[in-house]
Amino acid sequence: MTETKQSTDAPDAEALAHAKDREGGIVTCDACPVLCRIRPGKTGACDRYGNEAGRLIRMDPLVIAARAGPDGVIPFLGQAWDGSALSGATAFVTGIGAGTTYPDYKPAPFIVASEIDGVEMVTVVTEGIFSYCGLKVKIDTDRFIGPECAPVRANGEQVGHVTTAEYGSQMLSLGGVRHLTGGGKKEGVVTCDTLLALANKGAVDLTVDGGAALTIQAGRAPIIGGVAEERMRVGCGSATIGIFARQWLGHADEVIVVDDHITGVLSEHQAGRFLDMRPSGIRVRGRRSTPGRYFQVAHPGTGWGGTDITDPLAIIERIDAKLAWPGLRLLMVSTTGEHAAWFVLDDTLAPVPADMPPAITAVVDRIGENCEPALTSVLFMAGAGGSLRAGVTDNPVRLTRSVRASLTRVTSGGAPVFLWPGGGITYMADVLAMPDGSFGHVPTPALVAPIEFTLPLADYAAMGGHMDRVRPLASLRERNDLRPIAWDAANPWPVVPA
């Protein structure tokens, strides 16, 4: 059998493809593993990169944040502005619009040096691609939104779950690598879309299995079951008793603060005993924890105090005729003051609705006054590991150690981050502290978020940083793709020597 040999002069398929791309002006984007082939005048699947006259470019501008000077004037907005977005130590190069070098076999897109207080500093800037990322959402309400661990869905796809409730707030954990990449394609796309909208401060509609329909947006009141929340509870039922006990003394004989977690009964409570209040003989349902503190008086819900109660008298188990008396004055109130009712016991010791006295109304109003506005808080959480660190240094573990030693500051769009203890660089950032439009995505799917590492230039050299790619801040003046924004004065300035 004769073997036919292929001529070594014949071009292979890959070479032919590259030649065809060159002829058609097509460029291949290597900013993520998708490797989009982009025709002239078009953009890739993420809309972040495009083909401009045969050149691969980042379509969005590079965001520079500048802080005001001593006179309160932001340099690039002043009348004496010379057309440059940079003004020495007042400018910070964010990762927004910087571009991506994933996988980071090459240095980060921008490694910028500047001098601050006589110390040479460097900021390494990139847009990280995060599959291992998600959002932690805090919803200020005592309303029941769903059982712990219940799936949270967007457009029918699971994008997260209900997690452990915190004091006065319900909590969601959204995203994560399992939902982004571990499920079906639709689950990943919907999860990515949901995370992107929330991270960029937009509103999303969610449903909780066995729970409520939600509309949430960072910095806005949550909408639960079509009703916008107004107040975050002042405290649990026991705490409310403790706060207002003195103000009820002499105006009410008994106060029951209805709460899904701990319902308080004033005359039994330590606060009532301290004030020498007479026992009322009114016993509520549920499991008594300590005197005047009751668990499980009702099921969770959207009624009084985050329970399913619409008639507050339903939680009264019995009234002891040996202790109670006709004319006993009873206030029942929720932990936000939104629900309140006044009763007086008749001759048979049955609670009869009555007009609430002004002194009692004043305290109920004060409960409401002490409730903070109900808001939704959204924190972006991600792990800056893997090859992202190779864009900073040839020896990535040294970056991790430098961050741990607080020599390197980590920011996201210039905003401060909370660094989790333990291994790696796992961080959280409040999306409201970040500039608008900070986040993007790639169709793998994953989120794209800005990240900046700032440290003294000498320390950067010592960790094996890419010193040959360090450029002075002033070199960016010549770029025509800069977008200057005002520095958020609420954020600490990151370019300060440690």
Q: What is the pLDDT of residue 82?
A: 54
Confidence of residue 13 (pLDDT cuts 50, 70, 90): very low
> For residue 85, what pLDDT is reported?
53
Looking at per-residue pLDDT, the higher value among 57 and 468 belongs to: 468
40-49, 191-200, 221-230, 488-497: segment of lowest average pLDDT: 40-49
Please name the residue that has the structure tokens 């893997």.
Answer: 386
CB 266 within 8 A of CB 248: yes
**Mean of pLDDT over the chain:** 89
What's the pLDDT at 79? 41
The reported pLDDT for the residue numbered 106 is 84
Distances (CA, A) of 127 to 141, 444, 448, 450, 453: 34, 15, 6, 4, 12
Q: What are phi and psi of 286, to 5 degrees?
A: 100, -175
C-alpha distances (whole Å) from 292 to each of 61, 272, 332 are 61, 9, 14
> In this predicted model, which residue has the larger pLDDT, 276 or 13?
276
Q: Is the dihedral of CA 361, 364, 366, 368 positive or negative?
A: negative
Phi, psi of 159 (to 5 degrees): -120, 0
- Residue whose tokens read 């048979």: 348
- Return the pLDDT at 34: 80
Specify the pLDDT at position 15: 46
Cα(95)–Cα(90) distance, integer angstroms: 17
**Is residue 51 within 8 Å of residue 42, measured between CB atoms?**
yes
Indicate the range of 136-140, 181-185, 201-205 predicted with least confidence: 181-185
- pLDDT at residue 17, as a whole number: 47
Q: Average pLDDT for residues 25-36, to the nearest whole number?
A: 83
d(CA 266, CA 247): 12
pLDDT given for residue 2 in this prediction: 36
**Position 68, amino acid:** A
Kindly report the three-state secondary structure assignment for every residue of the chain.
Answer: CCCCCCCCCCCCHHHHHHHHHHHHCCEECCCCCCCCEECCCCECCCCCEEEECCEEEECCCEEEEECCCCCCCCHHHCCCCCCCCCCHHHEEECCCCCCCCCCCCCCCCEEEEEEECCEEEEEEEEEEEECCEEEEEEEECCCCCCCCCCEEEECCEEEEEEEEEECCEEEEEEECHHHHHHCCHHHHHHHHHHHHHHHCCCCEEEEECCCCEEEECCCCCCEECCEECCECCCCCHHHHHHHHHHHHECCECEEEEECCCCEEECCCCHHHHHCCCCCCCEEECCEEEECCEEECCCCECCCHHHECCCCHHHHEEEECCCCCCCCCEEEEEECCCCCEEEEEECCCCCEEECCCCHHHHHHHHHHHHCCCECCEEEEEEEECCHHHHHHCECCHHHHHHHHHCCCCEEEECCEECEECCCCCCEEEEEHHHCCCCCCEEECCCEEEEEEEEEEEHHHHHHCCECHHHEEEHHHHHHCCCEEEEECCCCCCCCCCCC
pLDDT value at position 9? 43
- Out of 22-31, 89-98, 179-188, 385-394, least confident range: 22-31
Question: Which of 214, 250, 239 has the alpha carbon at shortest distance from 138?
Answer: 214
Specify whether the CB–CB gap between 62 and 112 falls below 8 A. no
Determine the Cα–Cα distance for residues 365 and 374; give it in Å rounded to an integer: 17
The CA dihedral of 194, 94, 402, 390, to the nearest 10 degrees, is 70
Band of pLDDT at residue 77, cut at 50, 70 and 90: very low
Q: With contact defined as beta carbons under 8 Å apart, do 269 and 293 qualify? A: yes
Q: pTM score, two decimals?
A: 0.87
Q: Higher pLDDT residue, 481 or 2?
A: 481
Top-confidence residue, 142 or 381: 381
pLDDT over 70, % of the chain: 90
According to the model, what pLDDT value does residue 84 have? 56
Is 209's pLDDT higher than 50? yes
Average of per-residue pLDDT across 379-408: 92
pLDDT at 385: 81
Residue among 346, 354, 286, 281 at smallest CA distance from 315: 286
pLDDT at residue 356 above 60?
yes
Residue 72 confidence class, pLDDT cut points 50, 70, 90: low
Work out the pLDDT band at 32, boundaries 50, 70, 90.
Answer: confident
The two tokens of residue 386 are 């893997």
- Look at residue 28 and tell me whether its pLDDT is greater than 80: yes
Owner of token pair 């300590």: 290
pLDDT band at 397 (very low <50, low <70, confident <90, very high): very high
User: Cβ(277)–Cβ(255) under 8 Å?
Assistant: no
**What pLDDT score does 22 carry?**
59
Query: ∠ CA 244-246-251 to the nearest 5 degrees?
Result: 95
Burial, 59: exposed, middle or buried (Cβ in 10 Å; 0-12, 13-18, 19+)? Answer: middle
Per-residue pLDDT band for 386 (boundaries 50, 70, 90) equals confident
Q: With contact defined as beta carbons under 8 Å apart, do 366 and 350 qualify?
A: no
Rounded CA-CA distance 78/82 in Å is 9
CA atoms of 418 and 429, how far apart (whole Å): 7
Nearest to 450 by CA among 497, 377, 401, 380: 380
What integer is the mean pLDDT of 43-56? Answer: 84
- Percent of the chain at pLDDT above 90? 74
Sign of CA dihedral 122, 126, 131, 133: positive
Query: Cα separation of 359 and 81, whole Å?
Result: 61
